[in-house]
């Protein structure tokens, strides 16, 4: 009986190991070299962009010789602006792509710094929530912060390039709300298999990715 019990226990353990080994991981897909190459290039590019946008304020732009276009009066002389746009940056080099910035403009580097700060701060909030064993984790809060920052940038800087015949602020208001409604259908509660019972919330990261 003992021998039979040991054999049955070993058989059950082998079956459990086989089931676990064949169970797809919820975080990673199958290993392929093409995915390794793609993700490696993506990580290198993102890290390089983060370094560039962070150190951009400390790098010179001596090779920039651009000038802002000015209006002329009847005599052909430059006209002085009586009322300046407080939101417009009167720096011609701000909109020129330079090699030391990875061929990004200073304005794009400024946008990048805001996005990096949003992801880091959102990750900190997600880490704090994960310590309390909440369903909202680091990835979810980072994605939400990234999307919120992107929509805020689109709404804030949509009118700086000149007059428009359409309302650009609707892009940052109507589309995210409509797509977010579709993403909410992916969130569901699943019964917990643990001894304590209860429910677990699933689909949050997928819904956030759809919204983003």
pLDDT of 27-44, one tens digit each? 556 778 888 999 999 999
Residue 200 located in a structural domain: no
188 assigned to some structural domain: no
Alpha helices, DSSP H only, in 56-160? 106-131, 138-156
Quote the pLDDT of residue 114. 94
Q: What is the pLDDT of residue 137?
A: 84
C-beta contacts of 84-89 below 8 A and 24+ residues apart: 85/160, 87/160, 88/160
Helix (H, G, I), strand (E, B) or coil at 16: helix
* Total structural domains within the chain: 1
Residue 211 lies in a domain: no
Residue 7 covered by a domain? no
Count the Cβ atoms, other than its own, within 10 Å of residue 106. 22
195 in a domain, yes or no? no
Q: What are phi and psi of 132, to 5 degrees?
A: -90, 10
CA-to-CA distance for 92 and 105, rounded, in angstroms?
A: 10
Domain housing 107: 33-61+86-172
Band the pLDDT of 18: cuts 50, 70, 90. very low
Q: Which residue has the higher pLDDT, 189 or 170?
A: 189
The answer as to whether 110 is a domain residue is: yes
21 in any annotated domain: no
pTM of the predicted protein model: 0.69
Could you give the CA distance from residue 142 to residue 125 in angstroms, rounded to a whole number?
9
Q: Is residue 133 part of a domain?
A: yes
Residue 203 φ/ψ region, left for φ over 0, alpha for ψ in the -120 to 50 degree band, beta for the rest: left
End-to-end CA distance of the chain: 60
């Amino acid at each position: 009986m003992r021998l039979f019990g040991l054999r049955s226990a070993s058989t059950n353990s082998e079956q459990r190991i086989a089931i676990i080994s064949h169970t797809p991981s919820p975080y990673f897909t199958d290993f392929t070299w093409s995915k390794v190459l793609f993700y490696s290039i993506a990580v290198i590019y993102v890290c390089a962009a983060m370094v560039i946008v962070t150190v951009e304020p400390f790098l010179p732009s001596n090779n920039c010789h651009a000038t802002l276009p000015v209006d002329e009066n009847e005599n052909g002389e430059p006209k002085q602006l009586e009322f300046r746009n407080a939101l417009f940056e009167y720096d011609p080099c701000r909109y020129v792509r330079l090699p030391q910035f990875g061929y990004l403009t200073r304005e794009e580097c400024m946008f990048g710094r805001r996005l990096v700060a949003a992801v880091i701060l959102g990750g900190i909030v997600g880490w704090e929530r994960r310590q309390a064993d909440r369903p909202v984790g680091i990835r979810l809060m980072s994605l939400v912060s990234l999307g919120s920052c992107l929509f805020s940038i689109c709404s804030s800087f949509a009118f700086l390039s000149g007059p428009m015949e359409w309302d650009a602020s609707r892009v940052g208001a109507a589309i995210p709300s409509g797509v977010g409604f579709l993403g909410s259908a992916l969130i569901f509660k699943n019964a917990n298999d643990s001894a304590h019972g209860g429910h677990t919330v699933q689909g949050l990261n997928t819904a956030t990715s759809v919204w983003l």
